[in-house]
Structures are given as structure tokens and as C-alpha cells.
Structure 1
Amino acid sequence: MLTCLLQNLLLVSLNQLSYFVQRNQENQSAEVTFILLGFSEYPGLQVPLFLLFLTIYTVTVLGNLGMIVIIKIKPKLHTPMYFFLSNLSFVDFWYSTVVTLKLLENLVVEDRTISFTGCIMQFFFACIFVVTETFMLVVMAYDRFVAVCNPLLYTVVMSQKLCSLLVAAPYLWGTVCSLTLTYFLLELSFIGKNIINNFVCEHAAIISVSCSDPYVSQETILVSATFNEISSLLIILTSYVFIFITVRKVPSTEGRHKAFSTCASHLTAITIFHGTILFLYCVPNSKSSWLMVKVASVFYTVVMPMLNPLIYSFRNKDVKETLRKSISTKLLCH
């Protein structure tokens, strides 16, 4: 049911996006292309960077798809927490794929051109997945809140229907945000070849080469990003305040440690994810800070999707035990 809903949502979004792009291209005065500079100012580092990002992407794919498969085939992991974790891995896999494949291509080719449609599509999908991940972490915080504060009612509260709705909501909101931002982006005018001083088609870089006034588009993304960041952090912090209060009331040290350990992986993922976002917001928009922006963007778009499955597998007994048993079984079969 959830898969069908997501497929229908994706088809509707793609149809709407195709309409926006086609209408915008009719209004452009010339064929528009973008050139992603990436890390071209460091020619000697192109091969080492390619190998580094290829390794990161390989680990990301294996880690996230492996997490999904493990959760799918092991009945013991068919719980709300792992259901949300499998969806987080799904989002991370596609988010990394949308950004990293073009980055890898640009590190080995001379022509770093990307078409207008390709650039808009990359922004559109990257926006969907980053907003979806933001609120998927919120959903996981709520799950931990119910598990720690109402353990006896956990299975009743976190019903299959509620879990499906909680997962569908971030995808839906991510699609709405992305369509809105893309629409206002397509209202801008572009001419000829445009140089983007980044490795990804992100909003600020695209509007910086626009020929028209980007005020509405800038204000739209400012409001959207501020709302998403503040609302998600507020819900997460509120959940963990109640979790902390509940855990403090647990009489035994072992009980408190067990309760905190169930939240440790999620807290680590939240800290890295939102810490990087807040850092990017604080970087001034000046030429001297472009390298810092690129490095932070690499961590945010390329490295972070790799870290999530590692964080959850290394700090989670059930995942480690399942992974160890799977490897042992395969070795015995061989």
C-alpha cells in the first residue's frame, strides 16, 4: 500500500515537473546550460577525489541497501523502529545517487556541462530527499519517545496504519516543498551557458546566475528551510526532553543505560545531520568561503548518507547480531 502511494506520488510529481520545465523552456530566449565547476580548481586532486567519492558511494550503496535487505528478511526486525530505519536508508540511497553520480562524472570528464532540465531535475529530487530525511528523523524521534515513555502501550500506539502514515507524511511534504521551490525557480530567466561554482545544482548557485529578480524564489526557500529546520528540531528536542525526564525516573542504572542506548544511534544521526545544516546556514556568502561551502556540502550530501547505516549498525545490537549470523551462515554454506 505504501509502495503504491509513493509510486503514484512520484508519477504525479514528475508529470507536474515536466509541465513546469516545458513551459519554462518555451520562455527562455536561448538554449540554457549550466557548467558545474566542482573541484576543477584542483586539477591534481581529480583522480584522488574520484577514488575517494567512488569508495564513499560504494559503501553508501552497500550499507543502505544491505540495511533494507536485512530488515526485510529478518522477522525479528519487523518492528516500527526498523521500518522507519529502512525508509531512512531508502532515502539516503537515492539522495546520494542523485548527487554523487554527477559528481563522479565531472571528476573524470573535461566537459562539466549539465542541461537546464538535468540541473532542475537534480535540484528537484535532491530537495525531495533532504526534506524527507529531515522529517523521517522527526518520526524516528517520536518512535523513541513512545518506546521509552509508554513502553507498555508501544505496540498499540505504533500500529501498522500509523507507521505507514508517519512514513508517507515526510515523502508527501518533501514533494510539496520541492515542487513549490522548483516552480519559483522555473519562473526565473536564464540565458546561454551559466557557471555554477559548486558540484551540485543547489538553489543559491542556480539563482545567482539568473537574469531576473530572484527575490520571490529566495524568500520562498528561506521561509521553507526555516520552517522545516525549526519545526523538526522543536519536535525532536521536545521528544528527547520527555525521554530524558522519563529515564531520570528509572531507579536502576542498568535500566537508564538501556533506555539511553536505544536512542544513542538516533541522537548521533540527528547531531551530524542538523549540525551540518546549521553550519551551512552560518557560512557567509563570499568568494573566500566557497571552498568551505563545497566541503560542507560534500559532507552533507555525500558522506552523511554513508554514515547513517554505519551509525545504526555499529550501535545496534539487533542489527549487528543479524549481520553476524548472516555472514556466518554464508561462510558455513561456502
Structure 2
Amino acid sequence: METNNGNSASKGTGKVRIILAGGGTGGHIFPAIAIANAIKQQRPEAEILFVGAKGKMEMEKVPQAGYNIKGIDIAGFDRSSLFKNLSLPFKLIKSFAQVRSIVRQFKPHAAIGVGGYSSFPVLKHAQHKGIPTFIHESNSFAGKSNIMLGKRATKIFVATEGMEQFFPADKIRITGNPVRKPIVHSTVTKEAALAYFNLDPHKKTILAVGGSLGAKSINEIMARHVTELGSLNLQLIWQTGKTTAAQYIERGRPVKAVWVNDFIQDMDKAYAAADVVISRAGAMSVAELCVAKKPVVFVPYPLAAEDHQTVNAKYLVDRDAALMVKDSEVSAKLFGAITRLAGDETLQQKLKTNIARYAVTNADDVIAREILALI
């Protein structure tokens, strides 16, 4: 496809250069890395450059995955402090200047946006230059930036049906959400996983994850009950997330039946070790739990746009594939719900069987193949 920036890439041959933009949370970063890996699998000579927001976790996680990343000065609207938003227009102007420079130097044949602050200026500029743009929308409710970008996008990859309310129907391809290959192809045994976390093979194991940034309500209930686990013959793998991690790590580390840290690098091992899971219901968490076939109690983040996390969780709850506790009811109900589930192997098996029906294991390969066919 010829683009007006003077680039051309023949389909199926030649070196292609692709920008992947987005981040902010693991829910954006890990699908982007999965897509990049699939592109490299199909076209090993492809050059891939990530663009992310300075100071966000993509600046750490992307290089760890073996890819180059350029940081731009951009931030989202801060609902908690209007004063902090005064600099936003200046950051947006600066980010567009930075993107222009990156695109001029890298000369991409395509740009892929996965959501997060940096997606908008990168894809907007690419569209202005006539470079093919692709969007991956992981949620059942599209973000405002993606809706605006969707009008001129080449193709839009979505996780669920019904996205015609946000995007042009002829551009939509339902693929599901890309799940990291180590999770899809995990061969880790439960015994090896428990040894990795230095936990007891004779106790039931709870995995508590609130996303890469953390979940205050989940963390507070774990902190409150952490010393009770041993007497209940339970143990805990606890990802606190980055926010206020230190206080929760300090609370959990002295307890023998607990492994605690702000981030779990090897989620395949965490899933292999877990008998039951407590989790937020972001799109990527849901996708991974379906693939890992884990009995889960979802605690949807109540402030997610259009309450989409509740929609995500309820879809599985209504199909006897998961349990759910509202964030407002965590204090009264969550610990009881997870301890009952940990002791009920019949219910665990039913949830495992049912959630496995919604696993998608090849979304990254499908997305990569379709992008490479169109540039």
C-alpha cells in the first residue's frame, strides 16, 4: 500500500516498519506486546517501535519484552484535580510535535493503537499522513479517543459483538483479546508454581490481583484478613499493584502463608498455583482467566467508563462461569465468598468448565495476519 509519506511495503514480502502506540496499564501493554510478538513471528524482519507516555509502566515493560520505545509528554484528564489539567493543552501540543518527529524518522508503514494516552496523537498524525491505522479495542464500551479515531481507521479489532454502536460496521473484525503466550501455552505444574512462590502444596491457594495499578477495596480486605489464612488452611499470592504498595507489602510479608509484591512478573506461574482467584474485571483480566480456566470472584471497578467491568463480569456470572461481589459490598461479602469457594471443589469445577468455553487463544495471530495483509 502506498502512503503519502513516501513509504511502500509489499504484502507478504519486504521489511515493514510498524508503530504500536498506547499503554498506561497492563491491560493495554500486554496485548500490545502480544500483537508485536505475533507480527515478528509471521514477519521476522519487521521493525517495531512502541510509543508510550513518559512515566507510565510501558516505559519499563516494553524494553523488558525486547522492544524499543519512545516516550512522549502526554497525560489524561485528571478527574480528581482540575488544577492538574491546566497543563494538558500544552502537553497535547508538545506530544504532537514529538510524534511528528518520531514518524518522520521511523517512516512507519502502519500504526496500531491499543488504548491509553499515547494512542491518540500517534494515530491521529498517522491518519493525517495517510498511513494505515489499526485499533484494538479490548472493552465492550469503546473509549472516546478510539471512537474518534475509528472513523478513519483502516481496520478495528474488537473483543465482543455489538461494537457497531461505536465504529463503522464494515471496519470491525471480532477477534477477542490477545492473551500473553506464556499463559496460553503454559506447561507449569501446580507443584512447580507453588515452589516458585515458596508456598505449601497441601493448602488451598488464593490469588488476589487488582490490576497493575492495584485495587484499593481488594487490598484492604486482604490486609484485614491476612492473618486468618493459616487457621483456615489457606494461603495467598497477592499482587498489590503500584498504588500504596508499601503498606500492603509490609502487612503481608511477615505472614508465612502469604507471597506479596506490587507486581507478578510470571502470571503463568500465579495462575498455575491458584485454586481460586479474586480479580477486577478488566477486559484483559477476564480474557486471561478464561484461558487459564480459573474459578474467580470478580470485583468490578465501579468507576470504569459506562461501568463496563460490571458488564464484563456479569456476562460470565449469568452463564455460571464466575462469581461477583460489588465493590461497595467487598467489606461485608468478599472474604466469605472466596473462602466458601476455596472449600467447595464441586463449585470450583463447574466454574472452571464453564469459563473455559469463553477462552480465545489466537487473537494476536489473527490481528497480526490481518494487519500484515493490508500494508
TM-score range normalised by the length of the shorter chain: under 0.3
Q: TM-score, normalised by structure 1?
A: 0.28
Which structure has more relative contact order (CA 8 Å, sep 6+)? It is 1
Larger strand proportion of the pair: 2
